[in-house]
A and B are shown apart, each in its own frame.
Chain A
């Protein structure tokens, strides 16, 4: 219809978990997703799992993207999944990127993280994966 300015947009949360102060990577990803037409809720640094899960639910996002460089991914990511489940929101897919050693990827995926994008992943890969996740949720 001509009038509907209302049109479904993909909403993504991009958050930085952990105590390190580097957010360039997360910002680049946020920008790339926005350039692909998505609405990106960007929360900046030092988010706790509670903050991330609360924000995801309040913002009704379709995908949660976590950037971690601090090495604490084996704590943060499972904690986020646990809180999502507690709040009946584990239907929201979680992806992660940053500095995550290859040997941890298997375990994180088994825990429920949909995909890991280690340093060196291209923006295109991330954008199309987010679109795919969104599509899967619609079906």
Chain B
């Protein structure tokens, strides 16, 4: 049985191995993915983003329980940063998800220096889990850098996790935050000031106005620590997904996602081919050292290399 066939049967070891192959950039992974692709497109992908410590993992654990109870097969991809210095990392999101269930699969991915703040493997990992039959795929981002924006490229529903006591800062919150989420929650609503944070977020979302012409992102109070507000959150996630499907938002996003995916693959393939050629004929080293010595500026250098490629 090929790896792809085993994945389609839901074999956990095959799924795990294939995700590792993807992470490690092994060429064989693409052959498997090609076989899996036609079986994808059934999962609802939910992105959770929010500052470090906001309670994303604790909330993910609650979503897991809720969806498992409803009979769904659930997968989680938890992304944690790799150290810039050592390349290693302690991936600790699972601490908050101490669950074993035949319908649950959890995978931790390190960013491995990927600039987007997610993992370079994220798109393909989603495809594997989707093909394996997981119906709800939850992605926990690192919550910093570009990850909040980048998650839009992969998730159909984006939930932004806030906490109380962001105080006056909320006004100066990163511009654009209100455009990222489909749903906003104020987690740790057991702490003081939760109501104020809720009303601040509502005010801000009113300034931004409804998304896609008809969806006013709701602001919900949640206590991930004990599950308060989680059924309401799940209901909103499902409601948004239905809205987005019927309003054509998802098919619009699909085209954007397809372009994004093709662009990434193409960039990589073209660059790899170009660099290989330039390294073989020595132009890459030649040009680099000229720029390093100050004999050539990098812009003329790049133009020169491009010309070499076209020959």
Q: Is A71 an interface residue (CB 8 A)?
A: no
B-contact bits for A4-21, CB 8 A (1 contact / 0 none): 111111010000000000
Asked if B98 and A39 sit within 8 Å, CB to CB, the answer is: no
Contact pick for A42, options B22, B92, B268, CB 8 Å: B92
Asked if B94 and A37 sit within 8 Å, CB to CB, the answer is: no
Assembly CA distance A128 to B120 (angstroms) = 29
Q: Is B234 an interface residue (CB 8 A)?
A: no
Query: Closest residue of chain B to A55, judged by CB?
Result: B94
Contact pick for A51, options B26, B83, B98, B275, CB 8 Å: B98
Query: Closest residue of chain B to A30, judged by CB?
Result: B90
Query: Closest residue of chain A to B97, judged by CB?
Result: A43
Cβ distance A57 to chain B, nearest Cβ, rounded Å? 5
Among B12, B108, B114, residue most surrounded by chain A Cβ atoms (within 10 Å): B108
Among B90, B105, B120, residue most surrounded by chain A Cβ atoms (within 10 Å): B90
**SS class of chain B's interface: helix, strand, loop or mixed?**
mixed
B-contact bits for A46-78, CB 8 A (1 contact / 0 none): 111011001101111000000000000000000
Assembly CA distance A47 to B98 (angstroms) = 8
Assembly CA distance A3 to B276 (angstroms) = 10
Asked if B24 and A8 sit within 8 Å, CB to CB, the answer is: yes
In the complex with contacts A34-B88, A39-B89, A5-B94 CB distance below 8 A:
no
Query: Closest residue of chain B to A47, judged by CB?
Result: B98
Cβ distance B21 to chain A, nearest Cβ, rounded Å? 9
Query: Closest residue of chain A to B13, judged by CB?
Result: A57
Cβ–Cβ < 8 Å partners of A35 in chain B? 83, 86, 88
Q: Is A24 an interface residue (CB 8 A)?
A: no
**Interface size of A in residues (CB-CB distance below 8 Å):** 38
Contact pick for A39, options B26, B82, B100, B271, CB 8 Å: B82
Asked if A39 and B110 sit within 8 Å, CB to CB, the answer is: yes
Cβ distance A14 to chain B, nearest Cβ, rounded Å? 8
Q: Is A41 an interface residue (CB 8 A)?
A: yes
Query: Closest residue of chain B to A8, judged by CB?
Result: B24
Assembly CA distance A87 to B16 (angstroms) = 13
Asked if A33 and B25 sit within 8 Å, CB to CB, the answer is: no
Residues 59-116 of A contacting B (Cβ, < 8 Å):
59-60, 87-89
Q: Is B183 an interface residue (CB 8 A)?
A: no
Asked if A5 and B110 sit within 8 Å, CB to CB, the answer is: no
Q: Is B107 an interface residue (CB 8 A)?
A: yes
Cβ distance B293 to chain A, nearest Cβ, rounded Å? 21
Cβ distance A27 to chain B, nearest Cβ, rounded Å? 8
Cβ–Cβ < 8 Å partners of B23 in chain A? 6, 9
Asked if A54 and B25 sit within 8 Å, CB to CB, the answer is: no
Cβ–Cβ < 8 Å partners of B94 in chain A? 41-44, 55
Cβ–Cβ < 8 Å partners of A44 in chain B? 92, 94-95, 98
Asked if A43 and B98 sit within 8 Å, CB to CB, the answer is: yes
Which B residues contact A (CB, under 8 angstroms)?
A: 12-13, 16-17, 19-20, 22-26, 82-83, 86-92, 94-95, 98, 100, 105-108, 110, 112-114, 120-121, 268, 271-272, 275-276
Given contacts A7-B112, A33-B88, 13 further A-B contacts (CB under 8 A): A1-B272, A2-B272, A4-B25, A5-B114, A6-B25, A6-B112, A9-B87, A35-B88, A39-B88, A40-B90, A46-B98, A57-B16, A58-B106
By Cβ-Cβ distance, the 3 closest A-B pairs, closest first, are A6-B25, A44-B95, A60-B16
